[in-house]
Structure 1
Amino acid sequence: MDIRLDDLTHPAIHALLEEHMAGMRALSPPECVFALDLDKLRHPSISFWSAWDGDTLTGCGALRELDAGHGEIKSMRTPNALRRRGAGKAILQHIIGVARARGYQRLSLETGAPAGFAAAHALYLGAGFVETGPFGDYQEDPFSRFYTLAL
């Protein structure tokens, strides 16, 4: 698997991010969907990676710098048709490594709370994240779960 810093121009990335947004909207009300669209992912505070197996996009993930010691994981997604092949775990480990190299003390994320997010919860807990309360500008809501990893 080849994990690359991505410029968000490949059509496969656009399709995967559309799938991501559709999935979030199907499981949560609009006001509780915090996924970033393509333009917001291009913000200078965000680094975005894609994972490839040859010419096949197997997943993506992003890291947003909240401050000099705190990063946030965004846009973790594997295509529905390619789940359970290790891409999500590989991207997550890559992002954790980058966060450590940047000197962050912690890494946080928000994900959905409904049952459709169970695989994501297991992925984050398996990587050592612990469930916490809201961070940054997030507010407590029944459709969100928050996780943090001390680095």
Structure 2
Amino acid sequence: MSTHITAAAEDIRSTDAEQLIKELSQELGALYDSDGSAGFQPSDVEVPRSAFIIARLNGHPVGCGALRPLDEETVEVKRMYTRSGFRRQGVAQAILAEIERLAEDFGYSRIKLQTGPKQPEAAALYERVGYYRIPIYHGDWDRVLAYQKDIQPKPSVKTR
């Protein structure tokens, strides 16, 4: 059976989105002894120049990611998640590719994200696809791993 991964912006209030976010929060909560929300609210991606991405494998929801604005030039990746049975199959890369495409379309020049030290696979993925380490830019937990990728915004969308 061939596999076809798609990643596209969808409604964060959908059943699939809510289920993926719930699973991610439970996984992060168990890893870090927290609520697992990482300071994210659905309303973070219900503003202009933001989006919630769902990855689907043959139509079945298998992962998600979000981009939320930090400032005019910078967008942040949040809620990156791939269901455990679908990891290492290109799901996260498909989500990141769509996030980067949308960030360019929205006119951003930088993408930032933070991950935790108990997620070495995530850190390795970000480094593999061109993100580089930067100082922590949000929060006060000193063990956070922060990353950035510089991109070329689409000039026609750039606000003046």
TM range, smaller chain: 0.7 to 0.9
The question of 1:128 aligning with 2:123 is answered no
RMSD, aligned CA? 2.1
Normalization by structure 2: what TM-score?
0.81
Identity %: 27
Q: Quick check: 5-14 or 68-77, which moved more? A: 5-14
> What is the total number of aligned residue pairs between the two structures?
146
Structure 2: how far apart are the matches of 1:14 and 1:70? 26
> Aligned partner of 1:105: which letter?
S
Could you tell me which runs of 5 or more consecutive residues in structure 2 were left unpaired when the two chains were aligned. 152-160
Corresponding residue to 1:43 among 43, 46, 54: 46
Correspondences of 1:64-143 after superposition (within 5 Å): 64-114=68-118, 117-135=119-137, 137-142=138-143
Name the CA shift for 1:35/1:59 in 2 (closer, same or farther; >3 Å). farther
Contact 2:11 2:17 in 1 (8 A): no
Contact 1:41 1:48 in 2 (8 A): no
Q: String of CA shifts for 1:77-108, please: whole Å, max 9, x gaps.
A: 11112111101001101111221222222110
Structure 1: how far apart are the matches of 2:141 and 2:10? 32
CA drift at 1:51: 1.3
Contact 2:66 2:80 in 1 (8 A): yes
Partner of 2:158: none
Q: String of CA shifts for 1:17-69, please: whole Å, max 9, x gaps.
A: 111001111111428861524x3455315310111123311211111011110
> Aligned partner of 2:128: which letter?
G
CA drift at 1:133: 0.9
Contact 1:129 1:147 in 2 (8 A): yes
The question of 1:146 aligning with 2:146 is answered yes
Name the CA shift for 1:23/1:32 in 2 (closer, same or farther; >3 Å). closer
Rg (Cα) greater in structure: 2
Structure 1: how far apart are the matches of 2:140 and 2:62? 31
Name the CA shift for 1:113/1:40 in 2 (closer, same or farther; >3 Å). farther
Normalization by structure 1: what TM-score?
0.85
Corresponding residue to 1:15 among 19, 38, 54: 19
Runs of 4+ with deviation above 3 angstroms: 39-43
Q: Secondary structure at the match of 1:49?
A: strand
Structure 2: how far apart are the matches of 1:130 and 1:5? 25
Q: Quick check: 67-76 or 98-107, which moved more? A: 98-107
Could you tell me which runs of 5 or more consecutive residues in structure 1 were left unpaired when the two chains were aligned. none
Structure having the higher helix fraction is 1
